């Protein structure tokens, strides 16, 4: 397979990130962009890129090698079901669904139709986190005792977004649940979540929280802690620490620059990067290249429908723990 032809569904913020990365790849083209808000005469990339308003225009095409789904989350499951009979290589941003039964149906479909289905947990492809995982599995810290993840946004999203997001645990913390599973190859077997609305009472009025601490037990005997906030005024705070029998591993923040200034007033350094678009820019590139490689028949490790299922189970258990104010077994 020399020239790979892709379809891109959804041309919002994430769709544009993936499009920019795809356009830099060799022997890969975006044949068509599907988005109901795109005008039919739009010239997005070049004269060869078509546009469409719905995925029906893909169903009779034999030239599409893969689809990248970046549409609003509520459409993901139905779009996968619609495309699966004709297109076997599908990349879909998370979440597939906020309903466990629907994810189970997609899992069955993926097996029956032989789908190469990738789920967009992009942080797995961050070079620092990949090095962290390699160090763990090469025995650098020995037996894992404890994992601590700090994940804080610089500011909250809009209330309209929060109302449709599934809540903090299913929108934000779900990346951290996936990272714990990715780093340890272990399952989360118990969760105890505490949280409240401390930043914006409109978030509380919408039925969500904006600040949380989650404690977890893992199937390998380790314990973990996640702390989340929707507002860290100093920037996008993304840190992981692993403590084990042989020592400690840390993946720190990526600063806006590496200049440290020292004066008679003390030392100062740069804030963390602004948000996920710049902090995880490399992970999005690697994630999409990984998908393209599997279309070409190469073997690769990637986030599967089972990962989507497991993290959703944990997120639902976290919400239950918060409501009932007690640990929940999984």
Residue 40: what pLDDT?
59
Convert the pLDDT of each residue in 286-318 to its tens digit.
999 999 999 999 999 999 999 999 999 999 999
- The verdict on 203 and 263 lying in the same domain is yes
Q: Which of 93, 120, 147 is the last residue of a domain?
A: 120
CB distance 87 to 58 below 8 Å? yes
Distance between CA atoms of residues 269 and 73, nearest Å: 38
Q: Is residue 288 part of a domain?
A: no
Convert the pLDDT of each residue in 119-163 to its tens digit.
999 999 999 999 999 999 999 999 999 999 999 999 999 999 999
Q: Percent of the chain at pLDDT above 70?
A: 97
Distance between CA atoms of residues 54 and 108, nearest Å: 25
CATH code at position 304: 3.30.360.10
Residue 47: what pLDDT?
66
Does the CA dihedral 176-178-183-188 come out positive or negative?
positive
Convert the pLDDT of each residue in 239-278 to its tens digit.
999 999 999 999 999 999 999 999 999 999 999 999 999 9
- The verdict on 80 and 133 lying in the same domain is no
List phi, psi (to 5°) of 250: -135, 135
CB distance 126 to 235 below 8 Å? no
- The verdict on 137 and 101 lying in the same domain is no
Residue 48 pLDDT > 80, yes or no?
no
Q: What average pLDDT is seen over the chain?
A: 95
Distance between CA atoms of residues 214 and 315, nearest Å: 11
Q: Is residue 147 part of a domain?
A: yes
List phi, psi (to 5°) of 194: -125, 135
Residue 241: what pLDDT?
98
Distance between CA atoms of residues 244 and 241, nearest Å: 10
Q: Which of 69, 92, 120 is the last residue of a domain?
A: 120
CATH code at position 46: 3.40.50.720
Convert the pLDDT of each residue in 13-33 to its tens digit.
999 999 999 999 999 999 999
- Is residue 207 very low, low, confident or very high in pLDDT (cuts 50, 70, 90)? very high
Most confident of 34-43, 47-56, 83-92: 83-92
Q: Span 72-78, mean pLDDT?
A: 94
Residue 42: what pLDDT?
59
Q: Which of 120, 155, 183 is the last residue of a domain?
A: 120
C-alpha R_g of the chain: 21
Q: Is residue 69 part of a domain?
A: yes
Residue 1: what pLDDT?
59
Q: Is residue 214 part of a domain?
A: yes
- The verdict on 99 and 131 lying in the same domain is no
- The verdict on 269 and 194 lying in the same domain is yes
Distance between CA atoms of residues 187 and 218, nearest Å: 6
Residue 43: what pLDDT?
61
- Is residue 225 very low, low, confident or very high in pLDDT (cuts 50, 70, 90)? very high
- Is residue 50 very low, low, confident or very high in pLDDT (cuts 50, 70, 90)? confident
Three-class DSSP category at 170: helix
- The verdict on 198 and 106 lying in the same domain is no
CB distance 165 to 285 below 8 Å? no
Residue 37: what pLDDT?
87
Convert the pLDDT of each residue in 171-191 to its tens digit.
999 999 999 999 999 999 999
Residue 130: what pLDDT?
97
> Which of 47-51, 295-299, 324-328 shows the lowest mean pLDDT across its residues?
47-51
DSSP symbols for 96-137: S-S-HHHHHHHHHHHHHTT-EEEEE-GGGG-HHHHHHHHHHH
Closest by CA position to 85, among listed 115, 106, 105: 115
Q: Is residue 321 part of a domain?
A: yes
- The verdict on 226 and 213 lying in the same domain is yes
Convert the pLDDT of each residue in 31-47 to its tens digit.
999 999 887 555 667 66
Residue 60: what pLDDT?
84
- The verdict on 78 and 101 lying in the same domain is yes
Q: Is residue 213 part of a domain?
A: yes
141's tokens? 């810290």
Q: Is residue 229 part of a domain?
A: yes
Q: Is residue 111 part of a domain?
A: yes
- The verdict on 190 and 116 lying in the same domain is no
**Phi/psi zone of residue 266: left (φ > 0), alpha (ψ -120 to 50 degrees), beta?**
left
- The verdict on 159 and 80 lying in the same domain is no
Number of domains the chain is built from? 2
- The verdict on 253 and 316 lying in the same domain is yes
Domain residue limits at 70: 4-120
Distance between CA atoms of residues 16 and 191, nearest Å: 36
- The verdict on 115 and 197 lying in the same domain is no
Beta bridge partners of 249: 242
List phi, psi (to 5°) of 286: -65, -40
pTM of model > 0.85:
yes
DSSP symbols for 186-229: --EEEEEEEEE--S-HHHHHTT--SEEEEEEEETTS-EEEEEEE
Residue 303: half-sphere exposure toward Cβ, Cα within 13 Å: 29
């Amino acid at each position: 397979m020399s020239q790979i032809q892709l379809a891109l569904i959804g041309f919002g913020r994430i769709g544009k990130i993936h499009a920019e990365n795809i356009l830099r790849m060799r022997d890969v083209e975006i044949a068509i962009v599907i988005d109901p808000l795109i005008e039919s005469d739009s010239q997005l990339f070049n004269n060869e890129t078509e546009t469409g308003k719905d995925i029906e225009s893909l169903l009779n095409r034999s030239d599409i090698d893969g689809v990248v789904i970046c549409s609003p989350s509520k459409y993901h499951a139905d779009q996968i079901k619609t495309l699966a009979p004709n297109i076997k290589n599908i990349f879909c941003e998370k979440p597939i669904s906020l309903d466990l039964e629907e994810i189970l149906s997609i899992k069955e479909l993926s097996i029956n139709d032989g789908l190469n289905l990738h789920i967009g947990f992009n942080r797995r492809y961050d070079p620092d986190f990949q090095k962290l995982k390699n160090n763990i599995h090469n025995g650098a810290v020995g037996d894992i005792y404890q994992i601590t993840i700090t994940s804080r946004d610089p500011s909250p999203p809009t209330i309209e977004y929060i109302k449709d997001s599934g809540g903090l645990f299913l929108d934000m913390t779900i990346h951290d649940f996936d990272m714990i599973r990715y780093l340890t190859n272990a399952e989360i077997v118990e969760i105890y979540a505490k949280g409240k609305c401390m930043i914006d009472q409109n978030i509380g009025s919408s039925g969500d929280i904006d600040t949380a601490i989650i404690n977890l037990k893992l199937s390998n005997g380790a314990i973990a802690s996640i702390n989340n906030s929707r507002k860290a005024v100093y920037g996008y705070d993304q840190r992981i620490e692993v403590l084990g029998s042989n020592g400690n591993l840390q993946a720190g923040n990526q600063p806006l620059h590496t200049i440290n200034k020292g004066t008679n007033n003390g030392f100062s350094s740069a804030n963390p990067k602004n948000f996920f678009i710049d902090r995880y820019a490399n992970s999005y590139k690697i994630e999409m290249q990984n998908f393209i490689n599997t279309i070409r028949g190469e073997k690769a490790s990637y986030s599967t429908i089972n990962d989507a299922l497991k993290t959703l189970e944990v997120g639902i258990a976290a919400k239950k723990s918060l409501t009932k104010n007690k640990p929940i077994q999984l």
